[in-house]
């Protein structure tokens, strides 16, 4: 099962404690327990996940002082997409970082569930105490590509970049998250192993080092990658290995995620981090969940290849296809 943090959004709750008096001022107000539901339906997997948790109080002012996982168990959670209903079950997996919580990560999941584009989706979570959390969204349409509009081969003579252009039937204010990647094989013990390396849009010089800058969600229908960024990645995949013929480079793959209106609104408000799927920890509450906090959203992906020039691949010492050339 994929790491659940890659298939859901996780937000922090408000940590509040008893009120203050004029003669003994405290920046903390009366504690009010809140319930948080986070679920992002993704089209690239048949296993959907979500988290349920509660806000909590701490002595003092440091929310990190809490050592009890606020995850909620025993809830009845159902998601409707069109005419289908999916019941989520409880699960847990080991926690790699136990510096704060020693218990496993607890979440809910549903198998055999790949959300269909252009369908309404609704979620209802009934907590053990009877409280209900409800939200609705509409699963977006994927983008589509007119291959006459994109670069036919990479690189193009005389140009210092390449770009992908896509089209959409989604409305205004929809965000798109492009993720270009380089697909290659490396022979290990005589067996070709497939690798995917995500491409930055460019590199910037910071602190005397070149730092990659990756694409972030955008309202634009285009993503541009500097050729210098591709060159650096092409060199890095075999750095330190003198046997360049162990590598077979095939193509660049562009994956474009369409965020639904819930996630697009969430991102435009500054709550989402640049990866489009996680939430910044220093933001105020933002929610589309009735009866609580959190986010219920969805996103769909579309992939298309962009061909690399064989002479360009060979200039790095790599092979251009599996098998004899």
pTM over 0.85: no
Residue extents of the structural domains in the chain: 4-141+258-300, 161-256+304-314
CA distance 32 to 53: 14
Burial of 164 (0-12, 13-18, 19+ CB in 10 A): buried
Mean pLDDT of the 126-144 span: 96
Distance CA 193, CA 182 (A): 14
Displacement of CA 265 from its chain's centroid (Å): 15
The 10s digit of each residue's pLDDT in 226-272 is 999 999 999 999 999 999 999 999 999 999 999 999 999 888 877 55
Token pair recorded at residue 213: 């800058």
Chain segment 290-315, per-residue pLDDT in tens: 999 999 999 999 999 999 999 999 99
């Amino acid at each position: 099962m994929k790491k659940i943090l890659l298939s859901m959004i996780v937000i922090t709750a408000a940590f509040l404690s008893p009120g203050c008096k004029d003669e003994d001022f405290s920046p903390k107000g009366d504690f009010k327990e809140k319930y948080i539901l986070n679920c992002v339906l993704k089209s690239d997997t048949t296993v959907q996940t979500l988290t349920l948790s509660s806000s909590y109080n701490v002595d003092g002012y440091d929310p990190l002082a809490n050592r009890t996982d606020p995850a909620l168990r025993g809830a009845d959670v159902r998601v409707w997409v069109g005419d289908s209903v999916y019941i989520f079950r409880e699960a847990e997996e080991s926690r790699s970082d136990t510096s704060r919580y020693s218990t496993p990560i607890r979440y809910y999941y549903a198998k055999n569930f790949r959300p269909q584009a252009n369908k309404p989706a609704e979620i209802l979570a009934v907590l053990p105490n009877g409280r209900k959390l409800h939200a609705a969204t509409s699963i977006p349409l994927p983008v589509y590509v007119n291959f006459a509009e994109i670069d036919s081969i990479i690189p193009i003579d005389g140009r210092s970049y390449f770009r992908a252009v896509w089209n959409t039937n989604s409305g205004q204010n929809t965000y798109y998250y492009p993720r270009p990647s380089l697909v290659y094989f490396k022979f290990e013990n005589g067996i070709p192993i497939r690798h995917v390396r995500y491409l930055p849009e460019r590199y910037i010089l910071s602190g005397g080092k070149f730092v990659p800058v990756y694409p972030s969600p955008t309202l634009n229908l285009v993503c541009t990658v500097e050729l210098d960024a591709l060159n650096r990645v092409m060199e890095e995949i075999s750095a330190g290995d003198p046997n360049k013929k162990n590598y077979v480079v095939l193509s660049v793959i562009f994956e474009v995620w369409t965020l639904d209106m819930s996630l697009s609104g969430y991102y435009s408000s500054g709550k989402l981090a640049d990866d489009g799927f996680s939430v910044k920890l220093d933001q105020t509450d933002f929610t589309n969940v009735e009866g609580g906090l959190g986010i219920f959203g969805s996103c769909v992906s579309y992939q298309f290849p962009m061909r690399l020039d064989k002479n360009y691949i060979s200039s790095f010492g790599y092979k251009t296809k599996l098998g004899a050339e």
